[in-house]
């Protein structure tokens, strides 16, 4: 239940919006009255419609997969019955809307595809149309009117549910973007006064700003003299991205740290030259390894592999 409520908060639909939607579907008070008028008849046919409906669902692999648990099946059938009855009970107020939205959210949560969702509505409308034709043999005109009102209402419901689907996906995308943003700007201390800033993914203005600020703070707190900025993970570089890079490098220089940019891919190098991006002010080397070697040279480190005899001596001492 708590889950349902949290899903509700994902897609709050205002009273005005409900009015707008109903107006667009031309769903008026007359339609409500018509639907209420067939409520008694609907109560009679609901059970048989539900039975047909689930026979149809179970006949297709894609939808059957959702009802492998018999208890669940019973529960869902009960809910479905309640919903079908609800369709002709009038009073399509905010609570009704909220309920539809939460049902849409649940369907999205369990991963029911939109095509199945639509298909189910289509089947329902067809089943009801059949019942209406038989019931109102004498006055097909009336059957037609009822069906029209019912169609408006189900399209109203479908609109709500699909919006929940979309909203929920967008919410997920947004969360992921935030996660990426948080994860992707580590500044690593590689050696005393040597920082490594691996950039992965696209750089936009906001991220560049965050990246630069973090770099500058790290330069200060680690007393860094050299920064290696590795752009191997940056998929494309345009004028804007290059500018961000230059700004980061120059800001670091104002704080007394030299930057080395590494890992510019060949095709990116080509694009950059074609775009006329000038990185002459920045030290660039081919790959991360040479970048770190260059940094070590600047800092006065020499790295050498120890020989076998030295290794043995080390072991003896320890």
Q: How far is the CB of 215 from another protein (least distance, A)?
A: 9
Distance of closest approach, residue 224 Cβ to another protein, in angstroms: 8
Tokens of 167: 């909203």
Measured CA to CA, the distance from residue 22 to residue 28 in angstroms comes to 7
DSSP 271: H
Q: Shortest distance, CB of residue 213 to another protein, whole angstroms?
A: 6
Least spacing, CB of residue 263 vs another protein, in Å: 22
Read off the DSSP letter of residue 306: P
Rank residues 50 and 224 by Cβ distance to another protein and give the closer one. 224
Return the number of the residue (97 or 215) whose C-beta is nearest another protein.
215
When the beta carbons of 107 and 244 are compared against another protein, the nearer one is 244
- Tokens describing residue 168: 């929920």
Backbone angles phi, psi at 76, to 5 degrees: -65, -40
CA distance 23 to 41: 27
Rounded CA-CA distance 241/205 in Å is 8
The Cα angle at residue 119 between residues 118 and 123, in degrees rounded to 5: 120
**Beta carbon of residue 305, minimum distance to another protein (angstroms, whole number):** 29
Minimum distance of another protein from residue 214's CB (angstroms): 9
Burial class for 192, CB neighbours closer than 10 Å (0-12, 13-18, 19+): exposed
Nearer to another protein, 191 or 209 (CB): 209
Residues of the shown chain interacting with another protein in the complex, contacts defined by CB under 8 A? 209, 212-213, 216-217, 219-220, 223-225, 247-248, 250-257
Least distance in angstroms from the C-beta of 245 to another protein: 11
Q: How far is the CB of 220 from another protein (least distance, A)?
A: 6
CA distances from 47 to 43, 73, 127, 212 (A): 8, 15, 12, 65
Tokens describing residue 61: 């692999």
Closer by beta carbon to another protein, 21 or else 209: 209
- Measured from the CB atom, the residue of 191 and 225 that comes closer to another protein is 225
Does residue 136 sit in helix, strand or coil?
Answer: coil
Element (H, E) at 194: strand 194-200
The rounded Cα 95 to chain-centroid distance in angstroms is 27
Angle 91-96-100 from CA coordinates, rounded to 5°: 145
Query: By C-beta, is 255 or 273 nearer to another protein?
Result: 255
* CB-nearer residue toward another protein: 116 or 193: 193
């Amino acid at each position: 239940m708590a889950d349902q409520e949290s899903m509700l908060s994902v897609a709050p639909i205002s009273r005005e919006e409900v009015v707008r939607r109903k107006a667009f579907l031309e769903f008026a008070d007359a339609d409500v009255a018509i639907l209420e008028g067939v409520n008694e008849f609907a109560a009679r046919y609901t059970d048989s419609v539900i039975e047909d409906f689930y026979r149809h669902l179970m006949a297709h692999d894609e939808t059957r997969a959702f009802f492998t648990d018999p208890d669940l099946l019973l529960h869902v059938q009960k809910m479905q019955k309640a919903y079908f009855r609800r369709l002709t009970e009038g009073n399509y107020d905010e609570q009704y809307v909220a309920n539809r939205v939460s049902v849409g959210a649940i369907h999205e949560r369990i991963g029911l595809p939109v095509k199945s969702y639509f298909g189910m509505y289509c089947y329902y409308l067809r089943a009801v149309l059949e019942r209406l034709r038989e019931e109102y043999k004498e006055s097909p005109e009336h059957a037609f009117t009822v069906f029209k009102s019912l169609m408006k209402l189900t399209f109203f419901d479908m609109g709500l549910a699909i919006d929940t689907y979309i909203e929920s996906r967008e919410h997920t995308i947004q969360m992921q973007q935030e996660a990426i943003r948080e994860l992707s700007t580590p500044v690593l201390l590689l050696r005393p006064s040597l920082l490594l800033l691996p950039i992965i993914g696209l750089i936009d203005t906001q991220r560049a700003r965050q990246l630069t600020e973090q770099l500058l703070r790290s330069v200060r707190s680690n007393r860094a003299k050299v920064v290696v900025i590795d752009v191997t993970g940056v998929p494309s570089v345009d004028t804007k991205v290059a500018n961000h890079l230059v700004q980061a490098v120059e800001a670091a220089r104002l704080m007394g740290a030299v930057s080395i940019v590494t890992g510019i891919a060949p095709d990116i190098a080509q694009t950059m030259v074609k775009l006329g991006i000038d990185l002459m002010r920045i030290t660039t080397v081919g790959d991360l390894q040479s970048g770190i070697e260059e940094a070590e040279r600047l800092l006065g480190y020499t790295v050498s592999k120890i020989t076998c005899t030295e290794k043995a001596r080390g072991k003896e001492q320890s």
